[in-house]
């Protein structure tokens, strides 16, 4: 999955640091596209030497490399670099560079969406002691938001419920959805399966989790079993395809970055004895 970058390791502890000449200083445009070098062989980010004198905010480290982000609009325009969407980068690259891009996008989105205090409308500025934004007027602290969402492998004997979204991602997927106010994750699993497919479930089992910076999520994977009637009543507002698919007929996604794909692969290869 995207976070599997061993032997490299992400360190997300906060530092009150400034970039040096060769440190990556990431530049996002107003649409959240990330400037990277025009190089088909891998992701190369802008460094301090590329961007010049900018207001840089420390993000995280991967091994000994410190990553920063240019705060606000800096009007970056340099030959050899182009803005690329996170989705485009996901479809083109892998490795620790892509994981860094995903995680940086998560933080960019948080900084970009939180410029003014929701209590008094004062300007928010980065705190010097922790990963937070502090209101310059009332002192309120705002912390990064992480959205919990479930990925659900619904099993029916030797079949799994495969879906495709109505819009957006075009490849095979599983039932998925965000946790609502007052819900447990297990309740989210049951509700989403009922809403999207009209299927009752039982024997909910936790599988694994994954950070997914593209949507500021923490994805939580579960397997469960269909309970009773297995007739699918698809929510065609959310999905364009929902079908029970035999193990040998499961078509995986074109890369191994997502929790969804790993869960489909685990079922396809019949490696779920401890989860169902």
> What are 219-259's pLDDT values in tens digits?
999 999 999 999 999 999 999 999 999 999 999 999 999 99
Per-residue pLDDT tens over the stretch 84-125: 999 999 988 888 999 999 999 999 999 999 999 999 999 999
Q: Which domain holds residue 27?
A: 10-113
Residues 6 or more apart whose CB falls under 8 angstroms from that of 168 comprise none
Q: From CA 126, how far away is CA 174, in angstroms rounded?
A: 38
pLDDT (mean) for 11-36? 94
- The reply to whether 160 and 206 lie within a common domain is yes
Instruction: Answer yes or no: do 21 and 91 share one domain.
Output: yes
Q: What is the pLDDT of residue 275?
A: 65
User: How many domains, in total, are found in the chain?
Assistant: 3
CA distance 250 to 103: 30
- Tell me, yes or no, whether 137 lies in a domain: yes
Considering all CA atoms of the chain, what is the largest pairwise distance in Å, rounded to the nearest integer?
A: 64
Please give the Cα distance from 149 to 185 (Å, whole number): 8
Residues 131-154 have a mean pLDDT of: 95
Within this chain, do residues 107 and 122 fall inside the same structural domain, yes or no? no
Inside any domain, residue 106: yes
Q: Is residue 161 part of a domain?
A: yes
Reading the block at residue 42, the tokens are 């891998």
pLDDT band at 276 (very low <50, low <70, confident <90, very high): low
Residues 206 and 260 in one domain: yes
CATH code of the domain containing 80: 3.90.79
State the Cα–Cα distance between residues 32 and 213, nearest whole angstrom: 12
Is position 273 within any domain? no
């Amino acid at each position: 999955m995207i976070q599997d970058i061993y032997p490299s390791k992400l360190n997300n502890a906060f530092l009150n640091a400034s970039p040096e000449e060769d440190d990556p200083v990431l530049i996002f445009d107003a649409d959240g596209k990330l400037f990277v070098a025009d190089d088909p062989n891998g992701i190369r980010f802008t460094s301090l030497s590329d961007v010049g004198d900018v207001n840089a905010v420390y993000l995280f480290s991967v091994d000994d490399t410190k990553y920063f982000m240019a705060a606000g609009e800096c009007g970056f325009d340099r030959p050899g670099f182009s803005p690329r969407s996170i989705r485009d980068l996901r479809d083109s690259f892998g490795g620790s560079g892509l994981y860094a891009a995903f995680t940086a996008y998560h933080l960019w989105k948080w900084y970009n969406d939180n410029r003014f205090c929701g209590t008094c409308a004062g300007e928010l500025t980065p705190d010097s002691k922790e990963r937070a934004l502090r209101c310059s007027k009332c002192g309120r602290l705002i912390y990064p938001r992480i959205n919990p969402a479930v990925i659900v492998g619904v099993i029916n004997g030797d079949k799994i419920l495969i879906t495709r979204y109505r819009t957006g991602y075009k490849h095979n997927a599983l039932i998925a959805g965000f946790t609502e106010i007052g819900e447990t994750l297990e309740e989210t699993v049951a509700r989403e399966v009922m809403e999207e497919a009209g299927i009752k479930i039982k024997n909910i089992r936790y599988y694994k989790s994954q950070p997914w910076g593209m949507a500021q999520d923490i994805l939580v994977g579960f397997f469960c079993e269909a309970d009773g009637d297995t007739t699918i009543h698809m929510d065609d507002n959310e999905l364009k395809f929902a079908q029970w698919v035999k193990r040998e007929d499961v078509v995986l996604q074109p890369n191994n970055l997502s929790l969804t794909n790993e869960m489909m692969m685990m079922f396809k290869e019949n490696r779920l004895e401890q989860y169902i």
